[in-house]
Amino acid sequence: MTTLTEQELADIASYVKEHYGVNLAKKSSLIEGRLGFHITARGFPSYGAYFDFVKQDPSGREMADMINRLTTNHTYFLRESDHFEYFVGEVMPWIESLPGSRDLRTWCAGCSTGEEPYGLSVYLLDYLAAHGLTNTWDSVILASDISEKVLSDASEGIYTEENLSAMSKDRIQKYFTSLGDGLYKVTPTLRQNVAFRKINLLESFEPKTPFHAIFCRNVMIYFDTETKVNLVNRFYDAILPGGYLFIGHSESLTTFEHRFQYIKPSIYRKK
């Protein structure tokens, strides 16, 4: 298997950061691990030759495939589930108290293969049912990623028993259908409550109406400070006054100035 040179690392990292915001400057092992066998199998003599081919592909499919390989991350259901508990315990009552339509606007930015938005949707649908609000709210969650591959997998909604290990048996029975061989598929009810879209967080996004809450968890760990500042500012502008931003437990907004009010670790609110 060919070795990634410093120049090839710099070229790939610079391009990916400029166009997608992901910082790979010190991630040579990640690039080699995710692209090495693919490059060798396709007969390219070097990472540089492969990258030149990717950039010259007029269809854009090769670039999409490369980005898919470099940005896909492992996830599982109910990761950092205390956020979901806080959402139904604190955020939903606040949303219910607002005047106007029963239109819940929640965005999972960087949703990967769908475990986060489906997990949040499970909590939300249970909440609506428990409070006699089923079918009275538009509760569809927007879920986005830059990877077409993970969005395709998420839309299909098929997961392993291991993916669902943190989910209760009652919820698995309610929201998933067993396909046999340890595989489960989301029910139509759960699938219809999540809308998947391809969105590059480096590009501008202007929602028609502000969000009540945005989940962007374990995504900004790959961004440098300038990219984080710009993204957090755009999140602030995209959230309704009083709305919430959830980030990963390993992340923090304390390293730069921002307009959000700190609520508790990894949870912030628009003033």
Q: What was the pLDDT predicted at 79?
A: 83
Q: What was the pLDDT predicted at 130?
A: 97
- Cα–Cα nearest to 66, from 74, 80, 77, 55: 55
Its pTM stands at 0.80
Residues 6+ apart with CB under 8 A from 149: 64, 65, 68, 72
Q: What was the pLDDT predicted at 218?
A: 86
Q: What is the pLDDT of residues 137-186, one digit of tens each?
A: 999 999 999 888 889 999 999 999 988 988 999 999 999 999 999 999 99
Q: What is the pLDDT of residues 1-24, one digit of tens each?
A: 689 999 999 999 999 888 877 788
Q: What was the pLDDT predicted at 191?
A: 98
CA dihedral angle for residue 235, residue 236, residue 242, residue 248, rounded to 10 degrees: 50
The Cα–Cα gap between 104 and 211 comes to 8
Read off the tokens for 49.
């030759």
Q: What was the pLDDT predicted at 72?
A: 62
Q: What was the pLDDT predicted at 245?
A: 98
Residue 164, classed as helix, strand or coil, is coil
Helices within the chain (DSSP H only) = 6-20, 28-41, 47-56, 61-71, 82-86, 92-97, 115-130, 148-156, 169-175, 188-191, 225-238
Q: What was the pLDDT predicted at 100?
A: 83
Q: What was the pLDDT predicted at 67?
A: 82
Residue 48: Cβ within 10 Å count = 16
Residue 21: Cβ within 10 Å count = 23
- Cα–Cα nearest to 152, from 106, 84, 198, 100: 198
Give the DSSP letter string of 53-118. HHHH-TTSHHHHHHHHHHH-----TTTTTHHHHHIIIIIHHHHHHSSS--B--EEEES-TTTHHHH
Domains of the chain: 6-71 (1.10.155), 82-269 (3.40.50.150)
Q: What was the pLDDT predicted at 73?
A: 61
Residues paired with residue 138 on neighbouring β-strands, in sequence order: 103
- Weakly modelled stretches of the chain, pLDDT under 50: none
